[in-house]
A and B are shown apart, each in its own frame.
Chain A
Amino acid sequence: AQSVTQLGSHVSVSEGALVLLRCNYSSSVPPYLFWYVQYPNQGLQLLLKYTSAATLVKGINGFEAEFKKSETSFHLTKPSAHMSDAAEYFCAGRRGNEKLTFGTGTRLTIIP
C-alpha cells in the first residue's frame, strides 16, 4: 500500500520567510499525491494535487509543490510566509484504486 512520510511534526518560520514542508512517498509507481491544510477547529481543505500532468503543481494561497521521482518527494513550498498560513498541513497519497493514505501532519507556526 502507498505510504507517505512527513518529516517534522512542527515547523516554525518567520513571517516573510520561505516555507518548506517535506513529504516523501514510498512507491515504485508514481502515485496521486495531495497536500491538505487544516486550520484550527476546521476540516481539511485541498491545497493542491499531483496527478502526473506536470511535476510542478501550483495550489491555492501561493503554495506549490514539486514532484521529484528520483527523490520520491513531494515537498510543499511558499516563497513568503504570512501569519494566515499558520495551520496543520497533511500530505496524502494514493495509487490506483487504493485508499488515500495520510501522513501524520506538520504543524506550521509563523513567527511575527
Chain B
Amino acid sequence: NAGVTQTPKFRVLKTGQSMTLLCAQDMNHEYMYWYRQDPGMGLRLIHYSVGEGTTAKGEVPDGYNVSRLKKQNFLLGLESAAPSQTSVYFCASSWTGETQYFGPGTRLLVL
C-alpha cells in the first residue's frame, strides 16, 4: 500500500515549456486534489476532482489543467510554464472529502 505517490519528484522547466505531473493513489479514494505550496502562503487549491471523469477549479486554477480519466490517477498539466509557477506541488486524496492524505510533493523550478 503505497498511499499517494507523485511523479516526478523534481523538475526544471524553461519558460513556455509544458509538462504533466502525475498523482496516483491506491486507496480507492473518490476525491483527489492538487495544491501548490509557496513560502508564507500555506497550501492553495489548484483543481480538484470528486470522482472519475470529474474535475473542478479551486482557488488558483489559471495556467493549469487537470484530468481524471482513471479513479486512481489525477494529472496536472502546465501548457506553457511561467516563472510564477515555480512552486512545490502536492497531490492529496480523500475518501469522503474530510481527511486528506498527501503525496510527497513535486518541486518545480521554471526558469
Binding site for B on A (CB under 8 A): 9, 32, 34, 36, 41-46, 49, 51, 90, 94, 97, 99-100, 102-105
Binding site for A on B (CB under 8 A): 4, 40-45, 48, 58-59, 90, 92, 97-105
Q: Are A99 and B42 CB-contacts (below 8 A) given A43-B90, A46-B99? A: no
14 contacts between A and B (CB under 8 A): A34-B99, A36-B102, A41-B105, A43-B102, A43-B105, A46-B101, A49-B98, A51-B98, A90-B42, A90-B43, A99-B58, A103-B42, A104-B42, A105-B42
Work out how many contacts link A and B, with CB atoms closer than 8 A. Answer: 44
| Most-contacted residue by chain B among A90, A94, A104 (CB, 10 A) | A104
CB of A26 to closest CB in B, whole Å: 15
CB of B85 to closest CB in A, whole Å: 19
CB of B44 to closest CB in A, whole Å: 8
Are A104 and B4 interface neighbours, CB within 8 A?
Answer: no
Within 8 Å by CB of B97, from A41, A46, A97, lies A97
Q: How far is the CA of A43 from the CA of B91 in the complex (A)?
A: 9
